[in-house]
Amino acid sequence: MWSCAVIDCPICNQKNIDKVYRLHDDRYGYPGNFWLMRCCDCGHRFLDGAHFSDAQIQALYSNYYPRRNMRPEDYQPDVERSGFTAWLEGTKASAFRWVGPQVKVLDIGSGFGQALGYHANRGCEVWGVESDENIRRIAELHGFNVHIGVFDPKEFPQNYFDVVTLDQVIEHMRDPIATLAGVKAVLKVGGVAILSTPNAAGWGARVFGRRWINWHAPYHLQFFTKRSMQLAARRVGLKAEVLGTVTSSEWLRYQWIHLGSLPKIGQPSRFWAQHGGIPKLPERIALKVGSLLHRTRVNHILTRLFDSIGAGDSQLFLLRRS
């Protein structure tokens, strides 16, 4: 590693920073290299070199993310799930699954709107935020109240929401402290923010190194540890309660396939971007291995095992406004 003393940690503002890996977009083909940095004080990782404006962020998601190929008529809201199979698959990894019925909820990073439909069907007053312009088709079709663009707390009523969810979203934020301060501003006193986010200190990041699927440069900019999330919450006056690591078993299937499908810089992955062409031998092997381990439930067992010891790939936080 190379020492770097000119960049401040976005969480604790310390300058004790190391370079870890040089990463590129190994899913959708956005051009360029980006340094993954690590704070030696709080353990936070963050991406250096991805300095996007609001307009560039909207273009990044609208033009590169595969939701542009999704059809409104194929939209299906998420539904309630429970029981052993739901537990085995890691269904509770999603932040929206922790929201009760009949509350006022703001979903930041609404994707294609599946969670919005889930909340609406449970009697909630639902608001959303999404940078990807493609959400407009779903919002108009189903009458969802969605702000298209980056999250700006001034666009929403203050001290209003019972729950704010950021489901695999906080890692996309350029300024996570400002984002959390905005979340606090729109929450009621006693309200909670529920966050799911990749675990930079988990087993996957340690074992797979730069090939871990959740570095996901340049879309993921922040990589939290328990300590860095607690520090971030404290800085804005929220109290962080760690809910543990809960990870979708599907993530491990994706990880095995990802290992055999690394594209060159600037090229989309056949697997992630559904890019055409004949798969190469490593890709075919990775696809078969990943599918076999999933069908035999090996992925599920491993995922539940690592979650049980707090080393899973996805962590959950509840941030309370007192």
Amino acid present at 96: F
Quote the pLDDT of residue 34.
94
Long-range contacts of 30-35 (CB under 8 A, 24+ apart): 30/60, 30/64, 30/218, 30/266, 31/265, 31/266, 32/218, 32/265, 33/265, 34/217, 34/218
Asked if the structure places residue 41 within a domain, the reply is no
Mention every residue, 6+ apart, whose C-beta is less than 8 A from residue 237. Answer: 184, 321
DSSP secondary structure string for all residues of 45-57:
EEEES----HHHH
Quote the pLDDT of residue 60.
84
Asked if the structure places residue 11 within a domain, the reply is no
Quote the pLDDT of residue 68.
63
Cα separations in angstroms, 191 against 107, 180, 203: 14, 13, 32
pLDDT surpasses 80 at 251: yes
Asked if the structure places residue 186 within a domain, the reply is yes
Quote the pLDDT of residue 1.
33
Quote the pLDDT of residue 276.
59
pLDDT surpasses 70 at 55: yes
Asked if the structure places residue 167 within a domain, the reply is yes
Grouping H, G, I as helix, E, B as strand and the rest as coil, residue 140 is helix
Measure the CA–CA gap between 7 and 48, rounded to whole angstroms: 9
E strand or H helix that includes residue 196: strand 187-198
Burial of 46 (0-12, 13-18, 19+ CB in 10 A): buried
Cα separations in angstroms, 247 against 134, 168, 275: 27, 11, 27
Asked if the structure places residue 2 within a domain, the reply is no
Show the domain range for 231. Answer: 53-320
Asked if the structure places residue 181 within a domain, the reply is yes
Q: Which residue has the tokens 């971007």?
A: 273
- Residue 196 belongs to domain with CATH number: 3.40.50.150
Q: Please, which pLDDT band fits residue 82 given cuts at 50, 70 and 90?
A: very high
Model confidence pLDDT, tens digit, residues 185-195: 999 999 999 99
The residue among 286 and 161 whose pLDDT is bigger is 161
Quote the pLDDT of residue 4.
42
Asked if the structure places residue 37 within a domain, the reply is no
Asked if the structure places residue 21 within a domain, the reply is no
pTM for this entry: 0.91
Q: Which residue has the tokens 């922790």?
A: 98
Q: How many domains does the chain have?
A: 1
